[in-house]
Chains A and B, each alone.
Chain A
């Protein structure tokens, strides 16, 4: 499948949905809020103390609606301060995140 270059992918304004993420094989699950979703990337805010590092692979679970979720593996591409309590984490995903109907 030919995907458009990431920056040109259509973005949907993210509703206030939750995300949880964990390092592979780590017992601790961290939480956050989805900030931005595109076809093969996702950005979210997470508490500063929990922020993953750039290049790290994480397992993402995104709330997508009424009690429905999507699971994806993602690689952290960038982190930046969001406010006093949250950092913004931008990730590339191994499969499409934001498009409806692609959750096999």
Chain B
């Protein structure tokens, strides 16, 4: 009984103070400009994966010319990372990718699917952003597969298994300055279609301006857990927050529950101040199967990378929590 009372008290306290479900690690930020062994301008965000007991971050950084490239970081504990001495993936010099990556490669998301690691990323050029797909076995060599959308489309995240016989991905076609989360399907990972909208911006919420998938979806017994980002255009500029949504396992276009309030909102100095202030933006989360804890990696203020944790059950619960009071 006392446990129930304590849980209720904790939950109410959390709502009253607006405390985030995601618990920030006290050592944040975990990767900053000073940790990159070669010259660059800034650190944006990172895809994350745990492979053979090793944590890997595929980090988007901006080189000195202003183009985004990827570099790899390694860790044994998921908190303290060592960044490789050289970038691991730079804009292609081979067509057809070269034309569409001329301004950089951005926002990678890693998905392990059928034993292969796929990286869905944004190819950026003066034609606008479009989605591209690469794969790797060893994280030293990355083989580009295809450009898989037209511009303007970004925030692509591949599902970790086929759904009803088809590959599935989230994407975010832009309409002017707004955009919603869509799902598309493919037989071969190259040709995509049967697109439909999954969820839209909410006019009266923190995610009123545009939304997009963040980490690749996590399969749970309740459905697909998706951590997504939402943007609100404020007088002083956009505010990027992170939210959670639960989707039907066999029809991920069907929303089962969507959290009313964010799971992470910019509060700390390193999230408030940087190249683009008031930004928390995730491209990767790792579910620790034994502890059911989610390690969520996120870029802060387009300047550094941080990590936060949450119990999977708390994230699931938040998806079905429709209370507006934070």
A: which residues have CB within 8 A of B? 15-18, 20, 29, 31, 33, 45, 47-49, 66-67, 83-86
Contact = CB atoms under 8 A, between A and B. Distances in A.
Interface string B37-78: 100000000000000001000000000000000000011110
Interface of B: 25-27, 34-35, 37, 54, 74-77, 79-82, 85, 269
A31 B43 CA distance: 15
A18 B27 contact: yes
Contacts of B269: 66-67
Contacts of A47: 82
Contact of B80 (A20, A45, A48): A45
Nearest to A47: B82
Given A85-B74, A85-B75, A20 B82 contact: no
Nearest to B27: A16
Contacts of B85: 49
A84 B82 CA distance: 10
B82 A85 contact: yes
Nearest to A15: B26
Contacts of A31: 34-35
Contacts of B27: 15-18, 33
B76 A16 contact: no
14 contacts: A16-B25, A16-B26, A16-B27, A17-B27, A20-B34, A45-B80, A48-B82, A49-B37, A83-B76, A85-B74, A85-B76, A85-B82, A86-B80, A86-B82
Q: Which among A15, A16, A48, A49 has the highest number of chain B CB atoms within 10 Å?
A: A16
Given A45-B80, A83-B76, A85-B82, 15 more contacts: A15-B27, A16-B25, A16-B79, A18-B27, A31-B35, A33-B27, A47-B82, A48-B82, A66-B269, A67-B269, A84-B74, A85-B74, A85-B76, A85-B80, A86-B80
Top 6 A-B pairs ranked by shortest CB distance?
Answer: A16-B27, A85-B82, A47-B82, A83-B76, A16-B26, A31-B34
Contacts of A83: 76-77
Nearest to A83: B76
Nearest to B76: A83
B34 A33 contact: no
A48 B37 CA distance: 13
A47 to B, nearest CB: 4
A29 B34 CA distance: 8
A84 B35 contact: no
Nearest to A48: B82
Nearest to B79: A16
Q: Which among A15, A47, A49, A66 has the highest number of chain B CB atoms within 10 Å?
A: A47
Contacts of A16: 25-27, 79
B80 A84 contact: no
A18 B32 CA distance: 11
